Amino acid sequence: MEHYSGSQKNKRKGGKNFRFLKSLGQNFLQDEEVILKILDGSDIGRDDLVIEVGPGDGALTVEAAGRAGKLIAIELDKRLIPVLNAALINRDNAEILNADILKTDIGALIRENPVPGKVRVIGNLPYYITTPIIMKFLEEGESVDTITVMMQKEVADRLTAAPGTKECGAITLETGYFAEITRICDVPKEAFMPMPKVESAVLRLDVRREPPVETEDRKFLFDVIKSGFTLRRKTLRNSLMTLGGFTREQIGQALEEAGIDPARRGETLDLEEYAVLAKALRRMKDQ
Ligand code: SAM
């Protein structure tokens, strides 16, 4: 992982007379080096479909389209659509959709645009919806191969946290269930216009084709993980009571079956341990 020092030598034009909307998380990338880090980090190939979230005025879009087989960029702010179409005038493999990414059917989009290569998601995400966007691609985009995106550093730290650390949360284990995560670089505030209040980082998520742990019921596994993190600093046995539907004795029994000390705290368990625990709890439920 590289730390990026941040020069603004290569400031793009654009943004002139444009009123940035804070409510849409509009902090446009100004730094060519960071732009290249995202694009190089995502390994876009000639046969690949690239889905870009929030292209803005096209900082990543034009170069990404130049590298890809096909690019589809989804932008909510309709004022940016003519700007993007103008920037992409020479790229007939690029399509701009004026839509809300959270309301877009990702599976259908991929099925309607088959490619011989990989499906790559890229973007400098609108920070107010970072986690829902990432979870949407992980849960719905079965054939997505990689997700290489900029996010607030705090979220990146959370997604890459080790079990037992204070940054580790239910979301850490959930994203780890779906993908292998690599940190590409940290990015200073100065790389954006307008400058955000927080530092940023770029992560690459390589979506797993097989889950790393065995589970018959993913939703229940995730419920167990969430409940394990509900009462931080309390014992796992107390925390798991928030699941509902189990007596204290049943929870104790499931923990014993799973070989997990009931006095441990939920945030110290790894995904494998949660999977064994969820299996034991489910068996109890089915009895
Ligand atoms: N990619 C550009 C860049 O790096 O300069 C812009 C990035 S800016 C952080 C986030 C972009 O996402 C903005 O253009 C914003 O309008 C767009 N956006 C915000 N909410 C969105 C949503 N729900 N669906 C699609 N795009 C959205």
14 CA from centroid of ligand 1 (Å) = 15
pLDDT digits (tens, 9 = 90+) for 49-104: 999 999 999 999 999 999 999 999 999 999 999 999 999 999 999 999 999 999 99
Is 28 touching ligand 1 by the criterion CB < 6 Å?
Answer: yes
Is 101 touching ligand 1 by the criterion CB < 6 Å?
Answer: yes
205 CA from centroid of ligand 1 (Å) = 19
9 CA from centroid of ligand 1 (Å) = 23
Closest by alpha carbon to 161, among 152, 170, 149? 170
Radius of gyration for the chain, computed over Cα atoms and rounded to the nearest angstrom: 21
Q: Is the pTM of this model over 0.95?
A: no
104 CA from centroid of ligand 1 (Å) = 14
d(CA 221, CA 24): 33
Is 26 touching ligand 1 by the criterion CB < 6 Å?
Answer: yes
pLDDT of residue 16: 61
Phi (first) and psi of residue 262, to 5 degrees: -65, -15
47 CA from centroid of ligand 1 (Å) = 25
| Identity of the residue numbered 277 | L
125 CA from centroid of ligand 1 (Å) = 6
pLDDT of residue 250: 94
CB 201 within 8 A of CB 183: yes
pLDDT of residue 9: 34
pLDDT of residue 218: 94
Is 25 touching ligand 1 by the criterion CB < 6 Å?
Answer: yes
| Distances in whole angstroms, Cα of residue 177 to Cα of each of 67, 150, 215, 221, 232 | 30, 20, 11, 10, 21
| Identity of the residue numbered 30 | Q
d(CA 115, CA 46): 10
Among protein residues, the one whose CA lies closest to atom 18 of ligand 1: 54
Q: Which residues of the chain have pLDDT under 70?
A: 1-16
CB 145 within 8 A of CB 118: yes
| Closest atom of ligand 1 relative to the 29 alpha carbon | 5
Among protein residues, the one whose CA lies closest to atom 6 of ligand 1: 56
d(CA 32, CA 57): 14
Is 27 touching ligand 1 by the criterion CB < 6 Å?
Answer: yes
Is 24 touching ligand 1 by the criterion CB < 6 Å?
Answer: yes
Closest by alpha carbon to 237, among 209, 260, 212? 260
